[in-house]
Chains A and B, each alone.
Chain A
């Protein structure tokens, strides 16, 4: 256990100079970097020699923070950081333990903004807006520039107060082998078989056709699969669904960020109060759209993905497309694209010039999706301070969080982990020069469409409690123990039961009276009545790029 006594030594100018050089490229120039780093050193002066404990999930971005940024922060400010990296599931357990029992486990968490609905209702985390205005003013970086953040609203409550500040974000996009989709022989074969052009699928009908087309095909001696996914019974199986799969199918209502009055978890919300998930209460978790979402997930996993995928978790499937035998993936977390195998010259996924043979594009929609709905998921690991972290510990934690998202370090951090949080990073000259290396990702983040990729949102009243019911039930549907309908019925009723039990400080759920399912299915919007398979649609990737660039 460290002895913690503040030291108050002079600022280490040499360290500032050294790290300003190291953080290159950067969205700001050297002078601005030195000014920003010196501010951190000054603000932290009275805390030299003390230490701060933070925790984050196991992705490349956070490993880099732990190995590199913590060292830089200590050399510049004199504050030692222990930035622990653990699984996301464990983080949720730890933060809930700290919020509910007051244990001082960490000073600050990088906690997914998916939990914003929980935090705003429990009122046990620091309101950063209030903190920055009051006692935290002295410790708030004058160059923090909140307007420069992407998706700041993910961490805000209903009234726009910032409860969580983004540290890293990654969208979930459609990924495909651009080189194969561009080959004349393959294109002709597809058109002959399906009667339309091979291209980026705009809907699930086209995705399904393309998956069927590629599965079993041999391309340049490699046996190919038309789909990639994962299905092992584990908490990450729940994320596969709670991370907006249902909204992509079209379960919820029109309206950003999450659909209103029914969101992508199938929860109907009235005046900020969740009132039900079952169709009989006006929710949609067991609606025809939700059953369709689960059915398609299982069908494609079993028919078109490598057979081993049934035993993969999120982390196993993440970089698998880099092995070179996958034609497309409907649900690709872009954080995995930072894996070297996707870029390394000489890899099966790069061409002779070292450029990627793959591209990313918007996720195709299911048959219940309508214009105006969210189109995909964006994960926003966000700095969150429990209310029982007070005084100097709160100030030190806040300084560390701001350091990790400062303009000085953000571009370099993006180059390591591919998880941007600032517009200045995305719009930097460096990325303009090298954007081809990112297979369309930079174009995506620069376009206006990115605002349609959102996280779980504020309507989910208790993320850990509600999500706990999802993965064991989905696993039973995969194994055939339950039909998709039985599984969704079970989940919807379990979610309602839980909502009936939880009592939260504000906007606690209150279940609505039950009505017949036919009543709700005949009303406009979600829950939606059964629909038939639409005509498959594709688009040429080049046309899509023009749309993103408003050309």
Chain B
């Protein structure tokens, strides 16, 4: 039987441990768009390469995270203002957000050493197409199918006054491209490989080598009490370390 003093001591230890844990826990939001395999949600849980890489990098600094799936606007404009969110995953560098978010110091470069990942977006045409992408957006065969999750790419193509056919997901873009045997689609290089490994689409399309865009994606921090610049840098360094760890990346990428 536990004495009163023992019970009080136990409660005190539990309280102290909880406070300690609480200070090493942060909240991170991810966009609720489905961007497989980088970030997506399944049964309300955040999943994907960005999330797993972030979790592992935080673990190195003994930090745990709650991942909150929500529309990015709500994350940026409501919760972040209220100080309820410490960081956000899966954004490329955006000058307009630079006053709200802490990005790594080299984030404006095309390839940052502190990135979660570098994602290339490539043009895909049907196998019998004789078109070669030269870098000129206005020559791309239309319709240009782009999944709705690729916000930056949609913005880039639209800015050149070129119409875009928004698709739900990569797979539907591929389905329409192969079915109609016309036009093009834009996808990530990793997704192009995945689709080429499926029975349905194998050897049925050409991936053009010059990317439409090549972007570094980040874990970026808000100004909150839970983190500080020193910690940001430490976590980004952990990310770099893990990204260069062949065994870790092999394990991670083989999951998707």
Q: A: which residues have CB within 8 A of B?
A: 1-5, 50, 53, 93, 96-97, 100-104, 107, 388, 390-391, 393, 462, 464-465, 468, 498, 501-504
Contact for A101 among B245, B247, B253, CB less than 8 A: B253
Q: B: which residues have CB within 8 A of A?
A: 117-118, 120, 122, 127, 132-136, 188-194, 196, 203, 206-207, 209-211, 244-247, 249-251, 253-254
Kindly state the separation between the CA atoms of A116 and B123 in the bound complex, as whole angstroms.
31
Kindly state the separation between the CA atoms of A248 and B192 in the bound complex, as whole angstroms.
45
Q: A1-B210, A393-B209, A465-B246 are in contact. Are A102 and B251 (CB under 8 A)?
A: no
A388 in contact with B250 (CB, 8 Å): no
A103 in contact with B189 (CB, 8 Å): yes
Q: Which of B135, B209, B251, B253 gathers the greatest number of chain A CB atoms within 10 Å? A: B209
**B208: nearest chain-A partner, CB-CB:** A104
CB distance from B117 to the nearest CB of A (A): 7
B206 in contact with A391 (CB, 8 Å): yes
Provide the residues of chain A in CB contact with B210, threshold 8 Å: 1
Q: A5-B132, A465-B246 are in contact. Are A101 and B251 (CB under 8 A)?
A: no
Kindly state the separation between the CA atoms of A501 and B203 in the bound complex, as whole angstroms.
32
A388 in contact with B193 (CB, 8 Å): yes
B251 in contact with A103 (CB, 8 Å): no
Provide the residues of chain B in CB contact with A102, threshold 8 Å: 188-194
User: Majority SS of interface residues in chain B?
Assistant: mixed
Contact for A104 among B132, B136, B189, B245, CB less than 8 A: B189
Contact for B206 among A2, A4, A101, A390, CB less than 8 A: A390
B120 in contact with A103 (CB, 8 Å): yes
Q: A1-B210, A104-B122 are in contact. Are A464 and B134 (CB under 8 A)?
A: no
B246 in contact with A104 (CB, 8 Å): no
A462 in contact with B189 (CB, 8 Å): no
Contact for B250 among A3, A53, A462, CB less than 8 A: A462
Q: A391-B127, A391-B206, A502-B250 are in contact. Are A104 and B134 (CB under 8 A)?
A: no
Kindly state the separation between the CA atoms of A50 and B249 in the bound complex, as whole angstroms.
34
A104 in contact with B207 (CB, 8 Å): yes
Kindly state the separation between the CA atoms of A39 and B117 in the bound complex, as whole angstroms.
43
Q: A102-B190, A103-B118, A390-B203 are in contact. Are A53 and B209 (CB under 8 A)?
A: yes
CB distance from B105 to the nearest CB of A (A): 22
B134 in contact with A3 (CB, 8 Å): yes
Provide the residues of chain B in CB contact with A393, threshold 8 Å: 209
What are 29 A-B contacts with C-beta separation under 8 Å?
A3-B132, A4-B132, A4-B134, A93-B244, A100-B249, A101-B190, A101-B193, A102-B190, A102-B192, A102-B194, A103-B118, A103-B189, A103-B190, A104-B122, A104-B189, A104-B207, A104-B209, A104-B211, A388-B193, A388-B207, A390-B203, A390-B207, A391-B206, A393-B209, A462-B250, A465-B246, A498-B247, A501-B247, A503-B254
Kindly state the separation between the CA atoms of A390 and B189 in the bound complex, as whole angstroms.
14
Kindly state the separation between the CA atoms of A504 and B211 in the bound complex, as whole angstroms.
29
Kindly state the separation between the CA atoms of A107 and B210 in the bound complex, as whole angstroms.
11
Provide the residues of chain B in CB contact with A391, threshold 8 Å: 127, 206
Kindly state the separation between the CA atoms of A476 and B132 in the bound complex, as whole angstroms.
51
Provide the residues of chain A in CB contact with B120, threshold 8 Å: 103-104
Kindly state the separation between the CA atoms of A393 and B127 in the bound complex, as whole angstroms.
13
B207 in contact with A501 (CB, 8 Å): no
Provide the residues of chain B in CB contact with A388, threshold 8 Å: 189, 192-193, 196, 207
Kindly state the separation between the CA atoms of A464 and B122 in the bound complex, as whole angstroms.
27
**A96: nearest chain-B partner, CB-CB:** B246
Kindly state the separation between the CA atoms of A5 and B118 in the bound complex, as whole angstroms.
29
A1 in contact with B251 (CB, 8 Å): no
Q: A1-B134, A2-B134 are in contact. Are A462 and B246 (CB under 8 A)?
A: yes
CB distance from B80 to the nearest CB of A (A): 30
CB distance from A542 to the nearest CB of B (A): 48
CB distance from B128 to the nearest CB of A (A): 10
CB distance from A91 to the nearest CB of B (A): 14
Contact for B247 among A53, A103, A502, CB less than 8 A: A502
Provide the residues of chain A in CB contact with B127, threshold 8 Å: 391
**A1: nearest chain-B partner, CB-CB:** B135
**A53: nearest chain-B partner, CB-CB:** B209
